[in-house]
A and B are shown apart, each in its own frame.
Chain A
Amino acid sequence: MSELQDLVDEAQRQFTICNACRYCEDYCAVFPAMEERRLFTEGDLGYLATVCHDCRACYQACMYAEPHEFAINIPQLMSEGRVLTYERYAEPRWLARLFERARGTLVAAVVGAALAVALVFLLATSADSLLMGNEGPGSFYTVFPQAAMLAFGLLLAGWAILVCVVGALRFWRDIGGPTGGIRGPRLWRRAIGEAATLRWMRGGGGECHFPDAEEPSPLRRYTHAAVAAGFLLTFGATVAAAIEENIFGILPPYPLLSVPVILGTVGGVMVVLGCIGFLRMRREAPAGLAAPQTASLGLAFTWSLLVVAATGLALLALRETDLMGPLLLVHLAAVFAFFLTAPYGHLVHAVYRSVAIARNVQERASSEPGPEPRSEVQERDTALV
């Protein structure tokens, strides 16, 4: 808890300076929201930190960044605020803490364990089917029984969704969201639009200073769009496959020119390229502008997503060979690991950011027409010279 308190104290110090300056108020929604507050709680920090999309424009523009004695570093502070937020709202706590300590190792361990369990299970039941190049409808299920796959999938997805929903609701309450949620289609559209287009990663139009601090570019936004859209396409492929199988009774594998395969292939390629892009950006980005834990969070997430997508594509390419069985096993283990770790990993940023953006949209709407207009006596010319 003291780590959190230290962070809240540091946020109070830095935000007080920001509120006395306000030069950054048109970079994103963070600074106008900050200006509405004078004393900052944990909830405020979590809220502002998750509205922050880490474009780093404010850091580049800050005359109070180090070596100035005020040592303002909003990207770093917000990054730490996000890490602590993600940890705070993940349940159960003991599992979350386990992941905090050794994220990368744990993801790998889960993959390994899943593989081992599946192998033992398969070898004990039907060793033949694993290495026999099965073809035709239902061949996947000769490797792994359909019911087991389905049960596993539903259980995992249900778990991930439950943890995220519980966390999201608690977060909404803690950041001052009204019990009724946000009201009206206009606000919903605005919130979804701002979240989906990464509006606050644009640096007020000047674009994102990541990975290159001095050459802002939309690269990160585009890369993110590729991964997010690819992820949704592969999800769409799963849904399409479920429809084909359960409504039309067509068993996988599906032909190359079928909806699940096309969606899955396009999505998978986008995810692979996007993840590789993120791994490269991460290597180029300057140090000192993010919480140390961010690297392990991001790396574990990117790698596990990359493995899922890459093994999925490999499975598609090699599904008519002897490698189908082992590949399917590896792919399923990777998917298993991805979803099991999802509520404790970087994926939750999508959840908390969306919640924070919704709160922000709602807050902006409710502050129109705004507090009492400032009088001329209070007018402040912030031009120094």
Chain B
Amino acid sequence: MKASGPLDVLVVGAGNAALSAAIAARRRGAAVLLIERASRDWRGGNSKYTRNLRCAHDPDGVMPGAYGEEEFFDDLMQVTGPETDRDLARLCIAGSREAPAWMEENGIRWQPAMRGTLHLGRTNRFFLGGGKALVNTLSATAERIGVEILYETGLVDLAIAGDRCEAVTLASGDREWAVEPRAVVLACGGFEANIGWLEEHWGAAARNYAIRGSRENDGLPLRRMLEHGAMARGNPKGFHAIAVDARGPKFEGGIVTRVDSVPFSVMVNEEAERFYDEGEDLWPKRYATWGRLIAEQPSQRAWSIFDRQVVDRFMSTVFEPFEAASIEELAVRCSLDPAQLGATVAAYNASLDGGTYDPSRLDGVATAGIAPPKSNWALPIEQPPFYAYPLCPGITFTYLGLGVDADARVRLAGEGTFQNVFAAGEIMAGNILRRGYLAGFGMTIGTVFGRIAGERSADV
């Protein structure tokens, strides 16, 4: 490592929260070292797969309409439930108001007001080019103002004495060394890429999950801090997952493997049997439940079966669906039992009692007399060619994190906080987000708490 004088702040991670912390600390005069486990090519953690952040705001050129803090808070309460840390949630939402201007000062550009396929224009701000462009811009800004960045460098452990971190052991390749920063900011995500850790909770099934984000998020700093007496926050088993194409990459599939065909299809498991109501509610409210539902099926696999009349109704994905002239042939393509799939589809088709199909609302076009039902958008599957997407759970992030206070200081499991250990981003999102998810809220937490952690750590 470079012996460039005393180190004030060590930032662990290189996503949005980490870069925000590093920039904020550096702008307050601190000497900052940021370490990233990944190579430069893979830098940026899960942030590089994001696209927007949610922020409270008055109408402006980028975002039409107003989004008040109360409405934001209510939206959050709806998804995460009352046991969230309300003070931190309010702090985060209040901070979200200033986040865009701060990001602009650091080089971030916005997409013009949304058009076309996205309807989040009122609540969410989209960064031009998406998350990797954001990571590139913030990294360049950080380096320009004097933050030192070391890639392929990870945290091994922290030397904790009571409520203070005395030193941090770093490693890069075979080399290990210790640094003694005045403060540490942990902004290195959850543990979703640590299959072993997931197996502790989910058994061998965890091997069949796809991890949508960074392969580097093994949660080691999180685990070390918990061992050193930090407070845990969030469900230790919990993860956010959606249905993704099972043919996608094991890690780093990002946005493009996501499949949105569920409400237009019937979903069957390995036994070629339906297992849940595909039309339970509008898709934006239900897409995140299907990761968990598929994870509960044998081999953690499911198939979304539909026909020609709906094939153009949802966004195309990275892989073409399987296609066949008959349901039986389609079953063979999917390695499902043709007779059973034929019977399942036939029973579904026979249960339909008509109605006016309308994909824009809960249309009540439902099945009758089968279990589970399909409560809306239940069209017959009868027009060849028939299609199928093979699906598996795609994990976005884990909920378990470190408890923090309003200064982003990591709390001790008992009373009090660590004097000089801070956390920002996904590693502390569990304080605010106990379950569910609000689009763009992860980036809000990262930016707001990244800034707070950076500023407070510089003051240590």
Residue numbers of A with Cβ under 8 A of B are 16-17, 19-27, 32, 35, 38, 57-58, 60-64, 66-70, 204-206, 214-215, 370, 374-385
CB < 8 Å neighbour of A16 from B240, B316, B397: B316
Which residues of chain A are near B109, meaning CB under 8 Å? Answer: 204-206
B39-61 near A? 1/0 per residue, CB < 8 Å: 00110101111111000000000
Would you give the shortest CB distance from A34 to chain B, in whole angstroms?
Answer: 11
Q: In the bound complex, do residue A204 and residue B50 qualify as a contact, i.e. CB atoms below 8 Å apart?
A: no
25 contacts between A and B (CB under 8 A): A16-B316, A20-B255, A20-B318, A25-B116, A32-B116, A60-B132, A63-B132, A66-B41, A70-B318, A374-B117, A376-B283, A376-B360, A377-B283, A378-B313, A378-B315, A379-B117, A380-B314, A381-B284, A382-B51, A383-B50, A383-B439, A384-B254, A385-B50, A385-B396, A385-B437
Which residues of chain A are near B136, meaning CB under 8 Å? Answer: 60-61, 214
Q: In the bound complex, do residue B318 and residue A380 qualify as a contact, i.e. CB atoms below 8 Å apart?
A: no
Spot the interface stretch: B123-131, B178-186, B340-348.
Answer: B123-131
**Which A residue sits closest to B47, measured CB to CB?**
A385
CB < 8 Å neighbour of B360 from A17, A38, A63, A377: A377
Would you give the shortest CB distance from B429 to chain A, in whole angstroms?
Answer: 9
**Which A residue sits closest to B320, measured CB to CB?**
A16
- Excluding A26-B112, A380-B258, A385-B47, 20 further A-B contacts by CB distance (< 8 Å) are A20-B256, A23-B255, A24-B129, A26-B128, A32-B116, A63-B48, A66-B41, A204-B109, A206-B109, A206-B129, A374-B117, A376-B119, A376-B284, A377-B283, A379-B117, A381-B120, A383-B52, A384-B51, A384-B212, A385-B50
Q: In the bound complex, do residue B118 and residue A382 qualify as a contact, i.e. CB atoms below 8 Å apart?
A: yes
Which residues of chain B are near A22, meaning CB under 8 Å? Answer: 117
Would you give the shortest CB distance from A378 to chain B, in whole angstroms?
Answer: 6
Would you give the shortest CB distance from B163 to chain A, in whole angstroms?
Answer: 31
Known: A60-B133, A61-B136, A378-B314. A383 touches B440 (CB 8 A): yes
Which residues of chain B are near A69, meaning CB under 8 Å? Answer: 249
B98-118 contacts to A, CB under 8 A, are: 109, 111-112, 116-118
Which residues of chain A are near B124, meaning CB under 8 Å? Answer: 383
Known: A61-B133, A67-B41, A204-B128. A380 touches B316 (CB 8 A): no
User: Main secondary structure on chain A at its contact with chain B?
Assistant: loop
CB < 8 Å neighbour of A67 from B42, B283, B287: B42
Give the distance in Å from the alpha carbon of A376 to the alpha carbon of B392 in the complex: 24
Known: A21-B256, A376-B119, A379-B118. A58 touches B129 (CB 8 A): yes
Which residues of chain B are near A214, meaning CB under 8 Å? Answer: 136, 140
Give the distance in Å from the alpha carbon of A20 to the alpha carbon of B48 in the complex: 16
Known: A60-B133, A384-B50. A377 touches B112 (CB 8 A): no
Q: Is B377's CB within 8 Å of the partner chain A?
A: yes
Give the distance in Å from the alpha carbon of A58 to the alpha carbon of B130 in the complex: 10
Which residues of chain A are near B257, meaning CB under 8 Å? Answer: 20
Give the distance in Å from the alpha carbon of A326 to the alpha carbon of B41 in the complex: 55
> What are the 3 tightest A-B residue pairs by CB atom distance, in nearest-first order?
A23-B130, A61-B129, A375-B360
Give the distance in Å from the alpha carbon of A67 to the alpha carbon of B251 in the complex: 13
B107-166 contacts to A, CB under 8 A, are: 109, 111-112, 116-120, 124, 128-133, 136, 140
Known: A204-B128, A383-B50. A26 touches B111 (CB 8 A): yes
Q: In the bound complex, do residue A377 and residue B359 qualify as a contact, i.e. CB atoms below 8 Å apart?
A: yes
Q: Is B426's CB within 8 Å of the partner chain A?
A: yes
Give the distance in Å from the alpha carbon of A25 to the alpha carbon of B133 in the complex: 13
Known: A67-B42, A384-B255. A378 touches B51 (CB 8 A): no
Would you give the shortest CB distance from B274 to chain A, in whole angstroms?
Answer: 19
Which residues of chain B are near A384, meaning CB under 8 Å? Answer: 46, 49-51, 131, 212-213, 254-255, 396
Q: In the bound complex, do residue B50 and residue A17 qualify as a contact, i.e. CB atoms below 8 Å apart?
A: no
Which residues of chain A are near B313, meaning CB under 8 Å? Answer: 378
Give the distance in Å from the alpha carbon of A61 to the alpha carbon of B111 in the complex: 14
Q: In the bound complex, do residue A63 and residue B128 qualify as a contact, i.e. CB atoms below 8 Å apart?
A: no
Which residues of chain B are near A68, meaning CB under 8 Å? Answer: 252
Give the distance in Å from the alpha carbon of A27 to the alpha carbon of B260 in the complex: 25
**Which A residue sits closest to B286, measured CB to CB?**
A377
Q: Is B282's CB within 8 Å of the partner chain A?
A: yes
Q: Is B302's CB within 8 Å of the partner chain A?
A: no
Which residues of chain A are near B213, meaning CB under 8 Å? Answer: 384-385
Q: Is B263's CB within 8 Å of the partner chain A?
A: yes
Most buried by B among A61, A63, A70, A204: A63
**Which B residue sits closest to A68, measured CB to CB?**
B252
Q: Is B208's CB within 8 Å of the partner chain A?
A: no
Q: In the bound complex, do residue B128 and residue A206 qualify as a contact, i.e. CB atoms below 8 Å apart?
A: yes
Would you give the shortest CB distance from B16 to chain A, in whole angstroms?
Answer: 10
Would you give the shortest CB distance from B20 to chain A, in whole angstroms?
Answer: 15
Would you give the shortest CB distance from A26 to chain B, in whole angstroms?
Answer: 4
Most buried by B among A69, A374, A383, A384: A384
Would you give the shortest CB distance from B381 to chain A, in whole angstroms?
Answer: 17
Q: Is B443's CB within 8 Å of the partner chain A?
A: yes
Q: In the bound complex, do residue B396 and residue A380 qualify as a contact, i.e. CB atoms below 8 Å apart?
A: no
Would you give the shortest CB distance from A133 to chain B, in whole angstroms?
Answer: 58
Q: In the bound complex, do residue A380 and residue B51 qualify as a contact, i.e. CB atoms below 8 Å apart?
A: no
Q: In the bound complex, do residue B119 and residue A63 qualify as a contact, i.e. CB atoms below 8 Å apart?
A: no
Would you give the shortest CB distance from B88 to chain A, in whole angstroms?
Answer: 18
Which residues of chain B are near A32, meaning CB under 8 Å? Answer: 116
**Which A residue sits closest to B288, measured CB to CB?**
A381
Q: In the bound complex, do residue B129 and residue A382 qualify as a contact, i.e. CB atoms below 8 Å apart?
A: no
Which residues of chain A are near B316, meaning CB under 8 Å? Answer: 16, 19-20, 38
Q: In the bound complex, do residue B397 and residue A385 qualify as a contact, i.e. CB atoms below 8 Å apart?
A: yes
CB < 8 Å neighbour of B49 from A27, A63, A215, A379: A63
Give the distance in Å from the alpha carbon of A68 to the alpha carbon of B248 in the complex: 12
Give the distance in Å from the alpha carbon of A378 to the alpha carbon of B130 in the complex: 21
Would you give the shortest CB distance from A292 to chain B, in whole angstroms?
Answer: 23
Give the distance in Å from the alpha carbon of A380 to the alpha carbon of B439 in the complex: 10
Would you give the shortest CB distance from A211 to chain B, in whole angstroms?
Answer: 16
B64-107 contacts to A, CB under 8 A, are: none
Give the distance in Å from the alpha carbon of A16 to the alpha carbon of B282 in the complex: 26
**Which A residue sits closest to B254, measured CB to CB?**
A63
Known: A26-B111, A60-B133, A383-B124. A378 touches B283 (CB 8 A): yes
**Which B residue sits closest to A378, measured CB to CB?**
B314
Give the distance in Å from the alpha carbon of A80 to the alpha carbon of B238 in the complex: 47
Q: Is B442's CB within 8 Å of the partner chain A?
A: yes
Q: Is B317's CB within 8 Å of the partner chain A?
A: yes
Q: In the bound complex, do residue A20 and residue B50 qualify as a contact, i.e. CB atoms below 8 Å apart?
A: no
Which residues of chain B are near A377, meaning CB under 8 Å? Answer: 263, 282-283, 359-360, 377
Q: In the bound complex, do residue B284 and residue A379 qualify as a contact, i.e. CB atoms below 8 Å apart?
A: yes
Would you give the shortest CB distance from B297 to chain A, in whole angstroms?
Answer: 23
Would you give the shortest CB distance from A51 to chain B, in whole angstroms?
Answer: 18
Would you give the shortest CB distance from A13 to chain B, in whole angstroms?
Answer: 9
Give the distance in Å from the alpha carbon of A10 to the alpha carbon of B49 in the complex: 23
**Which A residue sits closest to B44, measured CB to CB?**
A63
Give the distance in Å from the alpha carbon of A69 to the alpha carbon of B212 in the complex: 14
